[in-house]
Structure 1
Amino acid sequence: MLPIHLISVLFLGMMYFFIYQMDKKPSYDPRIVFLVLLAGAFLLRCIFAGSSRGFASDTACFASWANLAYEGGIRNFYASGVFADYPPGFVYVLYVIGAIFSVFKVPYLSAPCLLLLKLPAIFCDMATALFFYKVASKKLPSQQVVMLAGLYLLNPAILLNSSIWGQVDSVFTLAVLLMCWFLTENRMTAAYIVFGVGVLLKPQTLVFAPVLLYGIVDRVILYDFSWRNFFHNLFSGLAVICFMVLACMPFGLDLVFMQYTATLGSYPYIAVNAFNLWGFFGLNWVSQDTRLLFFSYQTWGVIIIILIVLLSALLFFRAQNKESRYFTTAGFLIVSMFLFSIRMHERYLYPALALLLFAYALRPLKEFLEVYFGFTVIHLYNTAYILYFYDPANYDGKAPLILTVSACMVICGLSFYYMLLRYDIRQVSDQESSFTFLLPFRLKWRRKKSAPAHFTYDPAPSQEKMPFLVQDAILLFTVMAVYSLVAFWDLGSLKAPQSDAMLRQGDTVELYTGGEQAASYLYWYLGNYENRNFSLEYKTVPEDAWQPAGGGGQLTMTSVFAWGRMELPENCHYLRLTCNSDKASVMELALADAAGNSFMPVNAPDYQKLFDENDTFPADGISFRNSTYFDEIYHARTAYEFLHGLPTYETTHPPLGKVILSLGIVFFGMNPFGWRFMGTLLGILMLPVIYLLARNISRDRLAAGFACVLFAFDFMHFAQTRLATIDVFVTFFILLMYYFMYRYSRMSFYDTPLWKTFLPLGACGISMGLGIACKWTGMYAGAGLAVIFFLTLYRRYREYRLALKKPSGGPNGLLYSRIIATFRGNALKTIVFCMLFFVLIPGLIYLLSYIPFVGWETGLWEKMLANQKYMFSYHANLQDTHYYSSHWYEWPTMIRPIFYYSGIIGDTAREGISAFGNPLVWWVGIPAFAYMLYLVFRKKDRIALFLCIAYLAQYLPWMFVDRCTFIYHYFPSVPFVVLMILYAALTVKDLLPEKRFYLALGLYAAAAIALFALFYPVLSGHTVSIKYVDTFLRWMKSWVLIYG
């Protein structure tokens, strides 16, 4: 892809150069320059056309169709049975080409053959440039017209389509451009003609039928209506339809009709190599019959098309006095269809490029050029990737390039919509064109705008602390109470076997059922040693010889602190287990009849520790409620080992997370509720932290409540905190450390006693130490804290430098003289304090976390160092794969949720626990992050910068990790996704009445809660029907959610 990268950069440079030339007074005749550009562009296209076969299958089809049309005759073209998905209009063009082939004996797929096949598209490229020159010359200075025409003629995406690929999108695009211009000029008959010709050339022209319809309504009915004009247009339209019918008659009308319907119904997929919204979700080449919520994607496609047409009508009639409205409406239609409709191909965005350039000619808004450049580069990546790198046999719809380009496509589309909303819907004056990313220059024919805002370094006072009032307590308590009920409900059983029998290799356990009752199932509950192997034998009567039971007489007890079950042979009255492992901690055994009812063997008193807790038998079945699942087999086990002074099994992460987890076991016992309690509790305690952080950022209690609710009912926050793993603990401390760092960053040691600034700073360092002692990913967060801290200190330094220039006076109640006197001492003391609280104390916390750790070394320092070496080696050399692993770029889109637990309840019911995000948090977080970047780079917004650093500190490092990763690694970033959504919402607060703004926040939060309720069964393990999951929850094919 390197050539595509270079071409994109080159095009950007060319765009800057051309627009720079627009401001200069020409020293040459622009018409001569245009002709030279035209001739050069034509020659360049001819060279590319003759030297490239383009897309092999397309080129071969065009060549064979040309020969078929001429040699077999027009009448037999569709009747021949050959695959041909192009309509009659273009077949006539191919007929002429076929005649040239025949007369001049042009070799098949030779350079002349390739050039002839591509000439129609090349001629239309030239015609489009000439047409643009004519239209733009009426509106813009000739110098600017020439440069803009050059931006079209030398556009790499245009060149690729017509001259290299060999496609003919420029042919029907020219018809669409002519139609829009004739409608603008009120030349209705001409508009009907070119539209009809366009439909004959390519059926995609029908996408622009609404524009023609709006033109008829506007020009014929609404504007100066007269019956004479009405009938004139009616008969003109009918005449064009008759012309179209006559043009189709030589082919056979029935065959032409079948050809159109077959073409429109072809490629029944959600996306066909289009890097759009669906490509972003990895849905290229996925059947349109796949269901999303209540309907199939095919039905959603129809709904989306209807909505797009309705919105285009609103856009058109709202922009009634804008001369460019036909072009902008047509651009809106094709951009929206490409982004959101289904069955889109990679090339379908092509007409938007020319439409945007013509719109600019009629209405010179700089944003048109920016979007033109954006769509050019993204469309180039899309088409070039398919042309040069597409491999159907090894296609990966989730490749980073596809997801990145698809995301950029959606962002560019949103920028286009914002422009239309601003200028056509809200009717902002064209003179108020906003300063945006791509073109930070001023064109002379536009009014000069004020310079963009920059960071200011005038001494700022410390942010006033908001008092925590009764309203805060009520709001926060309500959210926490509701969430606590939901989180603790059905968390796990409070009962589990506690005593164990330690069996050694060769130890046997012989059981006798007694009487006529036979054992059909053997149940066991394994202690803290996994994968214990036993020999299993049975007999019916004492005189029989022992026979191997099911599974070849071998039984492996796999998962620790979990029930297992094995079906026994018929008439099993005697059962013998022989331990083959060096040792096995078995905490309970149970026998059950065919109906699943447990009973005690007659000789149970001989094995008291194996049959002393029969009330813990899983009568309702083995599930997450009574057993460990996923990584609980490591972390819950290690917590148990810490409490009992046993050798530590899970040594791939620091100990503190398991130490915290063990506190729940101390309070509630070694049972599912006990080992999950602390994670769930800290999931609840995250809510006041994010509330306080959101309140400090927004200075608005209701807005903070909105963020708190959004985070509380995020799917991953719920599912991950109910799982006894360490990720919840490191996420809690990350959130806590950034809360304290934000508090510190809003304080100034110029107007606040230095010791008071040390309070949040010290708490931040302690939180960082606790986080790192839970999981090394806390160090990622620490890097972000360092960036924020030094940016804050740099700001104090800039204030100091400003004070040196003005030693007297001072703004905001701060005296410059005090700043000069205190900076050096305060800065030095702060750095020394940070050395203590961000280096020494975290190091001490980390070391002390190894007190319960039983490793290879005896000394605290030695076993800590030994474990660091092991952890580093383990993570550096980890090569394992996992069916539910996912790459970092897939996490925000939730393409691959992680499937933690599955239970089969019956033929139609299942249980499942998956971890992924609430779509109203994670998906909306993507544009929210893009908007934060905009605020940082264009508005110099410090809060947006803080949120971006906090978010990227957790997320960015994973981009460089090539080991097996999972979506739950994104969990520490989720709180900052919520805060970015909140801050993005706050930027529009002044645009709405206060009540309407809070109503919008409330409705959004309610929608997030509704989604949580919808997905609750597959987040909690609640029993759910297969049909419900398939109908409402499986939005993507890659969302497993349940088995079956």
Structure 2
Amino acid sequence: MILSIVYVCLLYWLGKNKRGAVLYISFLFITAMFMCMTKMHERYLHYGLLLALTSFIYLKDRRILWLFIGFSITHFINIGDVLLRSFHQDYHIPRYNPLMLTVSAINVMMFVYACILGWRLFVKSDGDETVEETMPLVDNKVEVLPMEDDLEEKATNLRETSPWKALFHKTEDHIERGKRGRFFSRKDALYLGVLMVVYTIIALFHLGGHKDPTTFWQPSRGGETVIADLGSPHQITRINSFAGVGEGAYSYWFSNDGEQWQDAMAVKSDHTKVFTWHTVEANKEARYVKIVIDTQESAKLHLHEIGIFGDGGTTPLPIASLKEVDVDAADNGNTAHLFDEPSVVPYTPTYMNGTYFDEIYHARTAYEHLHKIEPYESTHPPLGKIFISIGIYVFGLNPFGWRIIGTLFGVGMIPIMYVFAKRMFGRSEYALIAAFLLSFDFMHFAQTRISTIDVYGVFFIMLMFYFMYRYTTLSFFREKLWTTLIPLGLSGLFFGIGAASKWIVIYGGAGLAVLLFISLWERYREYQFAKRVLRENSRDEAEESEGVYDDLLSVEESTKLLRVQKLFVRNTLLTILWCVLMFVIVPLGVYTLSYIPFMMVPGPGHQLKDVVSYQVHMYKYHKDLVATHPFSSPWWEWPMMIRPIWYYQAKLMPQGMLSSIVSFGNPLVWWPGFIAVLMSFYLAFKRKDKLLRMLLIAYCSQYLPWMLVPRLTFIYHYFAMVPFLVLILTYYIKDYLEQGPLQRRKWVYGYLAAVFVLFALFYPILSGMIIPAKYSFFLRWMPGWNFF
């Protein structure tokens, strides 16, 4: 605090604009009191904010306005946090509270910048003089004398350096845009449009049924009984039941007279049977079927529909009448709901009629979010399940409803990949190649048709790296600062949305940080270069007065270098503050808002503090998970596809037929793609290629963390790396085409055709198509490729 007092007094004493300095210095003093003294309440910064705003109105310097806005945001967060805590009688913030530390760190950075700005405004007075005024002009031109040979060589060497080219030459991105005119042409619209239409048709074909039973009966206690009268005796062959959320046990009893019951068949509906059909092969002759709720715990079970098949038929037998025994009036729904939707009961259930693999968790939780029910699955953030719930809300509780949004996100990956590749490689043909390879990769197809949350994480990983790439192609020395902050902010926004969908996105945050650091380091090198050149040029000017040297730089070049020297510190600090906002505060806000459906569930345990407890629970779950699975695979097996994951196998198939859904990569994409990745580590270093460097950072940021994860893993965890593997592979295809004769094109066309043929060949086991079991033998290329 003593240093702050000394500093503000020094500012006033040395300041050239005493009148204007008073307001700003008062703002600094009050802010220093708030920042440096103990026991400062939130309200004490109000005076500083008022003085900052008044100072801006008087001095009209936008940098002061940005300080006012920045402190206003952190002040609002600070007061809001205290207010929310007071609602729960929580009047002590822990010493290492993340929100408090983050807000405090931002305040410290803004205060340091405010001190620096004060010195510039009133001591150096950089606001009162322009860059042009510092240049020695004669009739608007620098007087030029003939160059000496060594000076000319010096100037040539200067203009060949990387920082000079970065500052004064157009980037490849600018050059390509200049050649192309518009970035997205009619050719792009045609290529992308046709590819998306073809893929969308394939992806939506047999995605899932549109009808599943929606009404249900929820018993309130064990022992409740419903008796279905079929009107006359029938040879009952099969009973299919559809259970919703909750767990329980019930049993079927059979009778011809309604008095003597025999041959009880028990059914257990646990968490693995949610939104799917449970089949019992009865083979009993009976007129009456009694459904008995066996346990008290079954009170939470939603039983949606029961279909009784008999006499060799494939449609449910009609129910003549229902009789209730010990049925509680407090039940949710009524027993008639068990038999009110017979048209949707399948005789042979498949994936078209119910959930499979982790859909039993994610589709279920999506439904629970919609109906304000305690969510069953709490091991991942909720936003992915909220996306799934949109499909259920629009299309109903059926397989198509809980799968459609993920499939549309999968379709949406194609234009992202196209634009990403077009930005990187400059030509529509290369963009089409990259989008084509992603479209007909096996995992992209299978993983976006199942109602799990991985598709959302990968979708936003692609977006956040795309916009970070856009940022790295810009420079706040060439463009306006705001122009560079827009893609940077979008990268942070999509990082936050992705992290609220699945934690794998947070792994990619490390890659984003590395790319940001490299970009700022390049700006720093250019800044140091500008300082050195200007310093050297000043020496040349001094010697020129003695007739020895001439000026190395033109007026335009000197002005540009002076601008670089002036803007670096300001733009860097503002960029860092922007990153704190868009990569920390906004993602935390999005992440917290994603828990609104959870907080809307009635009853205790759903407040904001419980959201924090959930994060601890999630971390401990993944950290301490000990489990086994026949189709798990460690990280080092994924690129070689040693063990695909077998999601689904249909039961009750005709003899010699099968229906399976498997997820792994297209061998013609993954195997050469992984070789390309390995080669890139050498070539990126040898060529100093920024594109390869960026793609490797993105790839490794998603892959390397899995090497440290002790829990059970599956090949689908490799999905987040596939887009970058595809882009790296496209890089080498581009290299191959541009460094050889035109005849090479036919080999590339042949390769793409082979990728599609392989997709068509494996399509039956990626989509769940019913095929002869013998067909799968032709697809077992490796011992771990089991499909039936």
Same fold? TM cut 0.5: yes
1:510–1:810 distance in 2 versus 1, CA, 3 Å = farther
Whether contact under 8 Å (2:233, 2:286) holds in the other structure is: no
Aligned to 1:725: 452
Aligned to 1:680: 407
Q: TM-score, normalised by structure 1?
A: 0.54
Separation (CA, whole Å) in 2 of partners of 1:773 and 1:857: 23
SS in 1 for 2:746: helix
**Structure number, greater radius of gyration:** 1
SS in 1 for 2:258: coil
> 1:485 offset after TM fit, Å?
0.2
Separation (CA, whole Å) in 2 of partners of 1:489 and 1:569: 35
Aligned to 1:864: 611
Aligned to 1:549: 264
Corresponding letter in the other structure for 1:576: K
Separation (CA, whole Å) in 1 of partners of 2:693 and 2:682: 10
Matched, 1:525 2:242: yes
Aligned to 2:30: none
Q: TM-score, normalised by structure 2?
A: 0.72
SS in 2 for 1:896: coil
SS in 2 for 1:988: helix
Aligned to 2:703: 955
The Cα offsets for residues 166-211 of structure 1, whole Å up to 9 and x where unpaired, read as xxxxxxxxxxxxxxxxxxxxxxxxxxxxxxxxxxxxxxxxxxxxxx
> 1:512 offset after TM fit, Å?
1.9
Q: Determine which of 303, 308, 316 is the counterpart of 1:598.
A: 316
Whether contact under 8 Å (1:847, 1:860) holds in the other structure is: no
Separation (CA, whole Å) in 2 of partners of 1:1034 and 1:535: 41
> 1:540 offset after TM fit, Å?
2.6
The aligned runs of 1:463-502 (5 Å cut-off) are 463-464=173-174, 465=177, 467-502=183-218
Aligned to 1:628: 355
Separation (CA, whole Å) in 1 of partners of 2:357 and 2:300: 24
1:810–1:506 distance in 2 versus 1, CA, 3 Å = farther
1:497–1:503 distance in 2 versus 1, CA, 3 Å = same
Corresponding letter in the other structure for 1:972: A
Whether contact under 8 Å (1:851, 1:860) holds in the other structure is: no
Separation (CA, whole Å) in 1 of partners of 2:688 and 2:520: 17
Separation (CA, whole Å) in 1 of partners of 2:592 and 2:556: 45
> 1:549 offset after TM fit, Å?
2.3
Aligned to 2:560: 815
Separation (CA, whole Å) in 2 of partners of 1:695 and 1:990: 16
Task: Name structure 1 gaps, 5 residues minimum.
Answer: 1-453
Matched, 1:1037 2:776: no
Aligned to 2:478: 751
SS in 2 for 1:599: coil
Aligned to 1:835: 580
SS in 1 for 2:397: coil
Whether contact under 8 Å (1:590, 1:600) holds in the other structure is: no
1:608–1:821 distance in 2 versus 1, CA, 3 Å = same
SS in 1 for 2:211: coil
Separation (CA, whole Å) in 1 of partners of 2:189 and 2:636: 38
Separation (CA, whole Å) in 2 of partners of 1:533 and 1:604: 20
Aligned to 2:35: none
Separation (CA, whole Å) in 2 of partners of 1:996 and 1:735: 33
Separation (CA, whole Å) in 1 of partners of 2:624 and 2:339: 43
Separation (CA, whole Å) in 2 of partners of 1:510 and 1:555: 19
Aligned length: 582
Matched, 1:618 2:366: no
Corresponding letter in the other structure for 1:542: G
The aligned runs of 1:268-283 (5 Å cut-off) are none
Corresponding letter in the other structure for 2:339: F
Separation (CA, whole Å) in 1 of partners of 2:564 and 2:634: 49
Matched, 1:1026 2:773: yes
Separation (CA, whole Å) in 2 of partners of 1:841 and 1:754: 20
Aligned to 2:732: 984
Whether contact under 8 Å (2:226, 2:322) holds in the other structure is: no
1:1012–1:705 distance in 2 versus 1, CA, 3 Å = same
> 1:858 offset after TM fit, Å?
4.8
1:760–1:576 distance in 2 versus 1, CA, 3 Å = same
Matched, 1:790 2:535: no
Matched, 1:560 2:271: no
The Cα offsets for residues 933-989 of structure 1, whole Å up to 9 and x where unpaired, read as 111222221111101000011111000111100000000100001001011222223
The aligned runs of 1:565-964 (5 Å cut-off) are 565-579=279-293, 580=295, 581-595=298-312, 596-604=314-322, 607-619=335-347, 621-807=348-534, 809=553, 815-854=560-599, 858=605, 860-904=607-651, 905-964=653-712
Separation (CA, whole Å) in 2 of partners of 1:741 and 1:964: 31
Whether contact under 8 Å (2:254, 2:284) holds in the other structure is: no
Corresponding letter in the other structure for 2:232: G
1:662–1:741 distance in 2 versus 1, CA, 3 Å = same
> 1:508 offset after TM fit, Å?
1.2
Whether contact under 8 Å (2:661, 2:768) holds in the other structure is: yes
Aligned to 1:1003: 750
Greater shift in the superposed pair: 925-934 or 714-723: 925-934
1:851–1:455 distance in 2 versus 1, CA, 3 Å = farther
Between the aligned residues of both structures, percent identity stands at 41
> 1:570 offset after TM fit, Å?
2.1
SS in 1 for 2:711: coil
SS in 1 for 2:717: helix
The aligned runs of 1:39-58 (5 Å cut-off) are none
1:811–1:925 distance in 2 versus 1, CA, 3 Å = farther
> 1:801 offset after TM fit, Å?
1.0
Separation (CA, whole Å) in 2 of partners of 1:490 and 1:455: 58
Corresponding letter in the other structure for 1:918: N
SS in 2 for 1:771: helix
> 1:543 offset after TM fit, Å?
4.1
The Cα offsets for residues 492-530 of structure 1, whole Å up to 9 and x where unpaired, read as 011111111112322112122221323222111101124
SS in 2 for 1:582: helix
Corresponding letter in the other structure for 1:506: G
The Cα offsets for residues 448-483 of structure 1, whole Å up to 9 and x where unpaired, read as xxxxxx994444245325611111111111111100
Separation (CA, whole Å) in 2 of partners of 1:679 and 1:893: 26
Question: What RMSD in Å do the two structures reach over aligned CA positions?
Answer: 2.0
SS in 2 for 1:624: coil
> 1:594 offset after TM fit, Å?
4.6
Separation (CA, whole Å) in 1 of partners of 2:606 and 2:209: 38
Separation (CA, whole Å) in 2 of partners of 1:594 and 1:641: 38
Whether contact under 8 Å (1:665, 1:671) holds in the other structure is: yes
Corresponding letter in the other structure for 1:547: Q
1:986–1:857 distance in 2 versus 1, CA, 3 Å = farther
> 1:1033 offset after TM fit, Å?
0.7
Whether contact under 8 Å (1:716, 1:918) holds in the other structure is: yes
The aligned runs of 1:422-437 (5 Å cut-off) are none
Whether contact under 8 Å (1:459, 1:799) holds in the other structure is: no
Separation (CA, whole Å) in 1 of partners of 2:438 and 2:229: 55
Whether contact under 8 Å (2:410, 2:444) holds in the other structure is: yes
> 1:582 offset after TM fit, Å?
3.1
Separation (CA, whole Å) in 1 of partners of 2:556 and 2:672: 38
Separation (CA, whole Å) in 2 of partners of 1:857 and 1:840: 27
Corresponding letter in the other structure for 1:1036: M
Q: Which has the higher contact order (CA 8 A, sep 6+)?
A: 2
Whether contact under 8 Å (1:928, 1:984) holds in the other structure is: yes
Task: Name structure 2 gaps, 5 residues minimum.
Answer: 1-159, 325-334, 538-552
The Cα offsets for residues 849-897 of structure 1, whole Å up to 9 and x where unpaired, read as 0000157855642121011011011111100111110000000000000
Whether contact under 8 Å (1:911, 1:1021) holds in the other structure is: yes
Whether contact under 8 Å (1:604, 1:611) holds in the other structure is: no
Corresponding letter in the other structure for 2:672: V
Whether contact under 8 Å (2:228, 2:321) holds in the other structure is: yes
> 1:602 offset after TM fit, Å?
1.6
Whether contact under 8 Å (2:227, 2:323) holds in the other structure is: no
Separation (CA, whole Å) in 1 of partners of 2:625 and 2:240: 35
Whether contact under 8 Å (1:521, 1:594) holds in the other structure is: no
